[in-house]
Every structure is written in structure tokens, then in C-alpha cells.
Amino acid sequence: MNALIATYIAWIIAQTGFVPPAHPPIHFATSAEMAVLSGAPENSGLEFQALYSREQGAIYLPHEWQPVNLRQKSALLHELVHHVQRANNVEAPCVAAHERQAYDLQMKWLREQGVEDPYSLVGTNELTIYMVSVCRDGS
């Protein structure tokens, strides 16, 4: 796992020019545990691919996470973008605004892996990304 994280952080740094951070702690958790960490109710029914805790500087992956699954690997990369953002004190008008860069880099990485339609693989689209990236006050 350390080699994979190092590779992903190096790729993110090459894309952003940020300073590489120390590796974050990686924890495995259930969807219910990740829901609670995200602030959602435990029984929310949300399916988490991964989660980054800004407070802890840690990444949470589902127990079923597989290092050979491209979608799951891209979720780890997405959360590592948040870790790099946090370590570099990247400013944004709100926490949600950090999602745009994380999704953009995740989609770029998937395209580099040969995925023609990364949105389909991840199960999202531009409108959804916009909605999770917009600040609640409209900024």
C-alpha cells in the first residue's frame, strides 16, 4: 500500500506543483462507519468508495477495497488529492469547493489508465460533481 500511495502522491504533485506530504494513515471501515465520519446518519444507506477526514488527516477505505480494482484505486487517488490539498493549505471558499480539483484529477488519472468514460466507471457526471463542489452559500 505504501508504494501505491507514494506513486499516487508523486502523480498528484506532478499535476499540481504542490509540496508532497507525508503519507496519511489508512483505515478500513464499514459504510456505516464512514457515514458517521462524514456527518451523515449511520443508517443513511450511502455507499462510500472512500473518505478523507480533514480533522484526522486520514483516509478511510471500505473493508472490501481491492488494490486491483481501477474504480477503487481512483477513489484512493481522489482522497489523496484532499490530503495533498490539506497539507499544502489550499484555500477554497468552502470545504466542498475542494471536490472540483479532486474529481478533475481523478478523471484525468482514469483517462491515463485507458478509461474512455471515467464518469461512467465512477458512477457520476458533471452535474453531480458541480453539486458536490458548490458552496452552500452559492459561491
Task: Please count the other Cβ atoms lying within 10 Å of the Cβ belonging to residue 79.
Answer: 24
**What is the domain count for the chain?**
1
109 within domain boundaries: yes
| Rounded-to-integer distance, Cα 114 and Cα 31, Å | 29
According to the model, what pLDDT value does residue 46 have? 73
Residue pair 112/15 in contact by the 8 Å Cβ criterion: no
77 within domain boundaries: yes
In which element (H, E) is residue 40 found? none
44 within domain boundaries: yes
Q: What is the pLDDT along the chain (139 residues), one digit of tens a residue?
A: 999 999 999 999 999 999 999 999 999 999 889 988 888 877 777 778 999 999 999 999 999 999 999 999 999 999 999 999 999 999 999 999 999 999 999 999 999 999 999 999 999 999 999 999 999 875 4
Domain region containing 58: 1-133
59 within domain boundaries: yes
Q: Is 78 exposed, middle or buried (0-12, 13-18, 19+ CB in 10 A)?
A: buried
107 within domain boundaries: yes
139 within domain boundaries: no
According to the model, what pLDDT value does residue 138 have? 53
